[in-house]
Amino acid sequence: MENKIWHGLGVSAGHAAGPTWYLKGFQAEMAGETSQGSVEEERVRLQQAVLRTEQNLTGLEEKVRAEQGEEVAQIFVAHKLLLSDPSFIGEAYQRLEKGQLNAEQVLQEVAGEAVQMLQSLEDPYFQERAVDVQDVLGQLLKNLQDVQDDVSDLFPQSGNYIVLADELTPAQTIALPKDRVLGFIVRQGGKTSHAAILARTYGIPALVGVNDGWGDLTAQKWLELDGEEGWVQASAENQVFFANTDAGEEVIFGENSLLQGMTLAANIGSPGDLPLVRKFKAQGIGLYRTEFLFMGEELPSEEDQLEAYRQVIDGCSPHLTVIRTLDIGGDKKAPALNLPQEKNPFLGVRALRLTLRRPELFRQQLRAIWRASIAGPTAVMFPMIATLGELEEAKESLWTAREEVLQAGYEIGSLQVGMMIEIPSAAWLADKFAPLVDFFSIGTNDLTQYMLAADRENPELAELNQPYHPAVLGMIARVSQAALQKGIWTGICGEAGGDPLLAPFFKAVGIEELSMAPGSLAKVRTALGKMEMSAEEQETLVKSVLACARTSEVIKVLQSSKTT
C-alpha cells in the first residue's frame, strides 16, 4: 500500500522524522448565567485576569526580546495592546454590566465576533491575526479559572518529538523546549502566522495549513516532514532525525571572505538557551543578559547566581562568555527591587546607575561572576555608562568583590573587563574609555534610540529608529577606530548584529565580533562567508556609507555591495 502523504504550506525549512505529540487546545468551563448581584464580582474577576495576563505577556515579551530580538518581541507587544482595546476588553466590561453573562461567556462572545470579522477579510495577514485574539482569549480564560497548564509541563519529560497542534500560539511555542522539538505541524495558519515566524526564528522545520485528513494525521504515532516542500508522511518507528540546512550549513570561505577573523556569538537570557547556542554553532556568548534572574518575586542569592553563571560559562567553554551586569529599568521591571515609578525610565535610574546606588546588590553579583569565572573563559561587561567616573566606580566595585571572594577562600579565574557603548557621550569619548577596558560592546538598540531621540518601544517611530541611519553607523565606525588604536576589540550586541545587510560594513570598520539571537547566526554566517572583499574594497564600502546623508542612501549602498 502506498504511503499516504499530507500536504500543507512549508514555512520553515528543514527535514525531520520522529514520534508525535499532539497539543490539544484548552477548553474553558462555562458557568451558567449570573444574577444581577454578581456583576461586580464578575467585573473584578475579569479585571484581575486582565492584569495577570498582561504580566504574563510582559514576561514573555522581555524573555523573547532578550533571546530573539525586537521583531519577535513585537508579537507580544501586539497581544498586550489587545488587553487595552476598547472593542475587545472595553466591550467585554460593557456587556458584563448587563448582568446576564459571566466573565468567561462575555469574553467568548466578544472574541468570537472579533475572530469572525478578521476571518471574513480577504487579506491573509488579517485572517491570521484572528489567532492572536484566540491566543489572548485562551490566556484570559485560564487566568479566570486559575488553570495552570504550562505547555512545558505537559510536554513529555524526555525524548524528541514532532509537535502537532490545531493552533499553535506564540506563548505555547515559547514555552516548548525547542531543543527537543523536531518539527511543527499546525492545522491552521499561514506564512506570516506567528507560529511560522517563531519556527523560522528557532530553526525548527514546520508546515501549517494542513486541513485535509487532519484526524488521520493526528492518529499517527511516527511522522516524517519536510518544512520546505510542505509535506508530511507516516514514518517507520524508531526513525528519528533532524536536519535543518539553515542551522547546519557549513560555509567554505576564501582568502578574502568577510567571515575571516570575525567571531559570531549568541545573545542569551538564561542557561536554558544553551541548546540553541550549540544548535546554531555560536562561537561564544557575546551577551548574557542576567536581569532575568532578578525578575521574580524574590531576588536571587549569590549562590543562585553562581549556579546560573557557572552553567552558562561551562556550557559555552572553550569559547568566551560575556556576562552583562544587571540592566534593570527602561523596558525591564523587577518587582523584588521595588523600584519607584519614573516619568522617563529609559533616561532614569537604570542599569549601572541603579547598581552603583545599591552597592551590596552589585557586589553580590560581581562576587558570583568572579566565583563562576573558574569554569571557563569569562568577561564582565558594564551597561549604560555615560561618564568615565561611572566606569571607574564600577571597576572599583569589581576589584572590591574580587578581594571579598579571595578572603572567603574561593578560587577564581581571570576576567576580561568591558563596557557597553550605548550612550552617545560614551561613543564620542571612546578614545578616553578604551585604555580602561579590554573591549567595547556596542548596544545598537539603545545607541540608535538615544542618537535619534526615538523611543524604540513606540511603533509610530519605527521608521526613524533603525540602525541604517548614517549618523549611527558613523558613530559605530568612530568607536571601532578608537578601540583599534588602543589595541582592544569591539563587538556588536544589538539587533543590528544579526542583520546580514550590515555585517559587511561592520567587518570593514574593524568590528571583530557580532553577537545576535541564535536563530540569526546561520544567515549572517552565510552572508559573510559567501562575500569576498579586499581591504581596498572594504575601505571603499566604508567611505561610501559614511558619505551618505539619508538612511535610504545607506541601504542602497549596502545592497549594491552584495552584488559586486
pLDDT of residue 196: 83
Question: CB–CB of 43/96 below 8 Å?
Answer: yes
- With cell 517563531, the residue in question is 198
Whether 7 is catalytic is no
What are the Cα distances from residue 552, in Å, to 466, 502, 509, 548, 559?
11, 13, 20, 9, 11
Residue numbers in the known binding site for Mg(2+) are 422, 446
CATH architecture assignment, domain 256-561: Alpha-Beta Barrel (3.20)
The domain limits of the chain are: 5-25+150-228, 36-144, 256-561
pLDDT of residue 78: 81
Q: Which residues pair with 329 in a beta bridge?
A: 332
Copy the grid coordinates of residue 331: 523596558
pLDDT of residue 347: 76
What is the rounded CA–CA span in Å between residue 8 and residue 15?
14
Question: CB–CB of 24/213 below 8 Å?
Answer: no
Nearest to 271 by CA among 204, 303, 301, 316: 316
- Pairing outcome for strands 15-23 and 161-165: parallel
Copy the grid coordinates of residue 35: 444574577
pLDDT of residue 493: 92
pLDDT of residue 456: 66
Copy the grid coordinates of residue 390: 561611572
Which residue among 79, 194, 319, 469 is the active-site one? Answer: 194
Residue numbers in the known binding site for phosphoenolpyruvate are 289, 324, 445-446, 456
Q: Which residues pair with 285 in a beta bridge?
A: 266, 321
Which residue among 15, 319, 469, 493 is the active-site one? Answer: 493
- The DSSP secondary-structure symbol of 466 reads -
Is 413 exposed, middle or buried (CB count within 10 Å of its CB: 0-12, 13-18, 19+)?
middle
Question: CB–CB of 234/220 below 8 Å?
Answer: yes
Is 157 exposed, middle or buried (CB count within 10 Å of its CB: 0-12, 13-18, 19+)?
exposed
Planar angle of CA 282, 289, 364, nearest 5 degrees: 125
Copy the grid coordinates of residue 439: 573591549
Radius of gyration of the chain measured on its C-alpha atoms: 25
Q: Does domain 36-144 have CATH number 1.10.274.10?
A: yes
What is the rounded CA–CA span in Å between residue 435 and residue 449?
27
Question: Average pLDDT for consecutive 10-residue bins of the chain (564 residues)?
Answer: 78 87 71 58 90 89 74 81 83 84 89 84 67 86 80 86 89 85 88 79 87 89 89 81 55 66 90 83 94 80 94 95 87 66 71 90 97 97 96 97 97 97 96 98 92 75 81 97 97 90 95 89 86 91 96 93 62
| pTM check: above 0.95 | no
**If DSSP codes are grouped into helix, strand and coil, which group holds residue 231?**
strand
Nearest to 477 by CA among 394, 396, 544: 544
pLDDT of residue 447: 94
- With cell 578574502, the residue in question is 256
Residue numbers in the known binding site are 289, 324, 422, 445-446, 456
Whether 319 is catalytic is no
What is the rounded CA–CA span in Å between residue 371 and residue 367?
6
Question: CB–CB of 503/74 below 8 Å?
Answer: no
Give me the half-sphere count of Cα atoms (radius 13 Å) on the Cβ side of residue 85. 16
**If DSSP codes are grouped into helix, strand and coil, which group holds residue 167?**
coil
- Pairing outcome for strands 489-492 and 222-226: unpaired
Fold classification of 5-25+150-228 is Glucose Oxidase; domain 1 (3.50.30)
289 contacts: CB under 8 Å, gap ≥ 6: 66, 267, 268, 269, 324, 327
**If DSSP codes are grouped into helix, strand and coil, which group holds residue 59?**
helix
